[in-house]
């Protein structure tokens, strides 16, 4: 009897001493550097170079280096701004497609040394890397292999030259946390494209910066997520299959980059690069078009909130400073994010899970609410579903939930559901797919005592590090300004009983400005600024600007048959959601495809505009074009020949193209010479317009 008792005692002791093992890692895993990188969440991109001074997005490489002449360059101001904005690093375009080097490279004759800035004695990379050290920021470099200036581009020697360039940068400015490789590959000065030697380039990076994260379309450190508008996929796996793929046109389709591959072979998380302005480079034309706070918050939720890091571009101005408008907006953004996620209402509250791994409290649900990423809740290996309930103790207002998987053990969750207790039962708030490092769900404010999270599907037992509940700042939604073909402006608002006020003289609308009550005529164009007020002005929306040129009231499409006429009419109906496209059937005429418009009166044109289709597709989007004008519709004068809309494939925003000198015209003709997609023999447009103001 005694013996048996002793045996039982011994085995119990042994059992409790034998701790439950943590789950084995699942699938492709992040390196320790990738985990660190993911925790950075938010950092700054800076596009700066000759384009800053020439109003271009893609320089041609033949620009006079003397144009680069910032008058008051202060890299410490950039670093200070980034730091105050809550960012963790700065990545700068050390060399963009025009080949201009922001440091005095030995391997190029197109650099700051040849510029007017500091009499050729300056080095932007030196100043910025020093400033980053001073402000405790990490430093990263963008280097475009595509080089429209270098005479060797397009020959085998160029690969070694680019490798030397990389070597120079990566061994001269201290630690580089991220090397950004642009996938764009176009023609160089000799009209040839380069076959890049990526193995060579990667080798140089790791030689000097073994811990650097290499960004490219397909990693290996992190990946492009398929667009430049700041929207990662709602489903976003950090794993990707890259075998057989390459950069640029050889990359997986953008929808794949956007969502990653479930069970992908490599860990290549998404980085969300987007500009705070319509373009990547500074232009005085966009000083008024810095993205609104509302827009930036939307980007935050669709980047950091969807398992991606946010790389927000803030272009440096011609003075060599971050413009006041951008820095003001960055501070508002920082404040709103910080306030929204200041108080985790779930922290330290009671939480119970449907199951706990080995019933071992080291893996218990309380780990979800301890504010420590390195402790997690998990279940037995065979368990693929499970839930936990957070008891808030009292009715609490919430509108955001933050979930985090413990990624050192891989990304596992395929779908999950969030519910709130309504007094009688749990009611679904949202059901979504992946979580990854961080997932934030946004929902209207509700009051509840209990929240239940259910993992519905997981590729291995779920491993969740944290769950947070918040009552985030709700911004009053912004009014929207639209103008129709006849020039009638409508201002709408989602706010209940708003008082909308607007101006047409560029000033900021106040409570004293004109009140919007009905659509008004505004065919000649200009800038309208609107703002919604509620509670007698106690609360207001942001100020929303909208700029218009001449309305296409009197315009008509010139075409032989009515079908084409009405189809082409979609390019001049003032509705960016309707698309004109030329015939695309088999055997149809190859490029050029053209659109001819009768303006109905003779005008003095300063330029034209082209809005590519805005429906998420890029079929027929024009890349190269020529533009003609005519006073009688028969004799055509070329104004712009064989030009290109720079970067329109990745950033399909409205293009505004000024002419070198004003042109008298009653007719215009836009001729599409090529599409953004190779071998596509048709053209499309959401809108075509003119600049007369």
Q: How many Å apart are CA 371 and CA 402, to the nearest integer? A: 12
Does residue 650 interact with ligand FUL by CB under 6 A?
A: yes
Q: How far is the CB of 48 from ligand FUL (least distance, A)?
A: 11
Q: Which residues make Cβ contacts (< 8 Å) with residue 5, sequence separation at least 6?
A: none
Q: Look at residue 387 and give its three-state secondary structure.
A: strand
Residue 687 site contact among Ca ion, ligand FUL, none (CB < 5 to 8 Å, cut-off depends on kind)? none
Among 68, 158, 280, 333, binds ligand FUL (CB under 6 A): 280
The pair of structure tokens assigned to 649 is 């494939």
Q: What stretch of H or E contains 338?
A: helix 324-340
Residue 280 site contact among Ca ion, ligand FUL, none (CB < 5 to 8 Å, cut-off depends on kind)? ligand FUL
Strand partners, 95: 101, 143
Strand partners, 415: 457
165, 103 Cβ separation under 8 angstroms: no
Among 182, 405, 656, 687, binds ligand FUL (CB under 6 A): 182
Does residue 273 interact with ligand FUL by CB under 6 A?
A: yes
Q: How far is the CB of 466 from Ca ion (least distance, A)?
A: 5
Does residue 20 interact with Ca ion by CB under 5 A?
A: no
Binding range to Ca ion, per CB under 5 A, among 174-182, 326-334, 366-374, 426-434: 366-374
Peptide bond before residue 592 is cis, with ω within 30 degrees of 0: yes
Residue 372 site contact among Ca ion, ligand FUL, none (CB < 5 to 8 Å, cut-off depends on kind)? Ca ion
Q: How far is the CB of 273 from ligand FUL (least distance, A)?
A: 5
DSSP letters along 80-97, please? HHHHHTT--EEEEEEE-T
Q: Please report, as residue ranges, which positions from 459 to 488 form the binding site for Ca ion (by CB under 5 A).
A: 465-466
**Phi and psi dihedrals of 295, rounded to 5?**
-65, -45
Report CA torsion sign: 147, 149, 150, 156.
Answer: positive
Binding range to Ca ion, per CB under 5 A, among 285-293, 347-355, 458-466, 642-650: 458-466
The CA distances from residue 63 to 131, 290, 431, in Å, are 29, 27, 52
Does residue 541 interact with ligand FUL by CB under 6 A?
A: no
**Measured from the CB atom, is 370 or 391 closer to Ca ion?**
370
Residue 375 site contact among Ca ion, ligand FUL, none (CB < 5 to 8 Å, cut-off depends on kind)? Ca ion
Q: How many Å apart are CA 243 and CA 595, to the nearest integer? A: 42
Query: Site map for Ca ion, 316-355, x if CB under 5 A?
Result: ----------------------------------------
**Measured from the CB atom, is 485 or 654 closer to ligand FUL?**
654
Q: Please report, as residue ranges, which positions from 289 to 348 form the binding site for ligand FUL (by CB under 6 A).
A: none
Q: How many Å apart are CA 67 and CA 116, to the nearest integer? A: 7
Among 325, 354, 375, 484, binds Ca ion (CB under 5 A): 375
Query: Site map for ligand FUL, 47-76, x if CB under 6 A?
Result: ----------xx------------------
The CA distances from residue 83 to 69, 76, 175, 412, in Å, are 26, 10, 18, 34
Q: How far is the CB of 274 from ligand FUL (least distance, A)?
A: 9
Among 261, 303, 647, 663, binds ligand FUL (CB under 6 A): 647
405, 412 Cβ separation under 8 angstroms: yes
37, 177 Cβ separation under 8 angstroms: yes
Residue keyed to tokens 């939480």: 351
Q: What does the binding site for Ca ion look like in residue numbers (CB under 5 A)?
A: 367, 370, 372, 375, 465-466
Q: What does the binding site for ligand FUL look like in residue numbers (CB under 6 A)?
A: 57-58, 182, 184, 273, 280, 647, 650
């Amino acid at each position: 009897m005694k013996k048996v008792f002793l045996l039982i005692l011994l085995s119990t002791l042994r059992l409790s001493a034998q701790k439950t093992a943590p789950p084995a890692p699942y699938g492709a895993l992040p390196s320790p550097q990738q985990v660190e990188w993911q925790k950075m969440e938010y950092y700054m991109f800076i596009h700066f170079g000759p384009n800053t001074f020439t109003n271009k997005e893609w320089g041609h490489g033949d620009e006079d280096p003397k144009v680069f002449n910032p008058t008051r360059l202060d890299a410490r101001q950039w670093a200070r701004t980034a730091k105050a904005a809550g960012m963790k690093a700065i990545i700068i375009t050390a060399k963009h497609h025009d080949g201009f080097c922001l440091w005095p490279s030995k391997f190029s004759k197109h650099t700051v040394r040849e510029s007017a800035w500091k009499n050729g004695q300056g080095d932007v990379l030196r100043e910025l890397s020093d400033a980053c050290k001073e402000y405790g920021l990490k430093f990263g470099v963008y280097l475009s292999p595509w080089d429209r200036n270098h005479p060797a581009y397009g020959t085998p020697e160029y690969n070694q030259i680019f490798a030397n360039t990389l070597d120079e940068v990566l061994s001269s400015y201290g630690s580089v946390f991220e090397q950004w490789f642009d996938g764009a590959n176009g023609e160089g000065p000799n009209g040839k494209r380069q076959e890049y030697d990526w193995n060579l380039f990667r080798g140089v990076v790791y030689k000097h910066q073994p811990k650097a994260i290499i960004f490219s379309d397909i990693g290996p450190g992190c990946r492009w997520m398929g667009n430049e508008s700041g929207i990662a996929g709602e489903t976003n796996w950090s794993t990707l299959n890259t075998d057989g793929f390459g950069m640029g046109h050889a990359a997986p389709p953008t929808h794949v980059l956007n969502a990653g591959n479930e069970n992908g072979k490599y860990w290549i998380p998404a980085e969300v690069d987007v500009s705070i302005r319509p373009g990547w480079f500074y232009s005085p034309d966009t000083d008024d078009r810095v993205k609104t706070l509302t827009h930036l918050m939307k980007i935050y939720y669709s980047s950091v909130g969807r398992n991606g890091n946010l790389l927000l571009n803030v272009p440096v101005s011609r003075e060599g400073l971050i413009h006041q408008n951008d820095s003001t907006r960055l501070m508002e953004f920082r404040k709103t994010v910080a306030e929204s996620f200041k108080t985790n209402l779930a922290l330290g509250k009671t939480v119970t899970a449907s199951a706990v791994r080995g019933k071992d409290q080291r893996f218990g649900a309380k780990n979800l609410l301890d504010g420590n990423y390195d402790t997690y809740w998990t279940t037995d290996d065979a368990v693929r579903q499970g839930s936990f309930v957070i008891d808030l103790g009292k009715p609490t207002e919430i509108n955001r939930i933050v979930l985090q998987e413990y990624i050192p053990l891989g990304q596992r969750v395929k779908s999950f559901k969030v519910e709130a207790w309504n007094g009688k039962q749990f009611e679904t708030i949202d059901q979504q797919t992946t979580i990854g490092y961080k997932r934030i769900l946004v929902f209207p404010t509700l009051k509840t005592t209990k929240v239940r999270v259910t993992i519905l599907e997981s590729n291995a037992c779920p491993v969740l590090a944290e769950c947070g509940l918040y009552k985030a700042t709700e911004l009053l939604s912004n009014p929207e300004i639209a103008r129709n073909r006849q020039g009638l402006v409508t201002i709408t608002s989602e706010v209940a009983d708003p008082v909308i006020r607007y101006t047409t003289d560029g000033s900021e609308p106040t409570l004293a400005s004109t009140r919007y009550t009905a659509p008004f005529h505004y065919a000649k164009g200009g800038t309208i600024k609107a703002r919604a007020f509620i509670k007698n002005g106690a609360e207001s929306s942001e100020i929303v600007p909208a700029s218009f040129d001449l309305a296409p009231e009197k315009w008509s499409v010139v075409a032989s048959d009515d079908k084409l006429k009405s189809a082409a009419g979609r390019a001049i109906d003032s509705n960016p959601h309707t698309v004109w496209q030329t015939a695309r059937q088999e055997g149809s005429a190859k490029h050029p495809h053209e659109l001819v418009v009768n303006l109905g009166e003779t005008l003095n044109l300063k330029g034209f505009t082209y809005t590519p289709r805005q429906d998420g597709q890029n079929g027929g989007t024009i890349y190269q074009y020529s533009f003609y004008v005519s006073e009688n519709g028969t004799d055509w004068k070329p104004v712009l020949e064989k030009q290109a809309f720079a970067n329109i494939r990745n950033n399909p925003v409205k293009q505004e193209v000024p002419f070198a000198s004003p042109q008298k015209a009653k007719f215009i003709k836009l001729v599409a010479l090529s599409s953004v997609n190779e071998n596509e023999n048709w053209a499309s447009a959401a809108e075509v317009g003119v600049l007369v103001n």
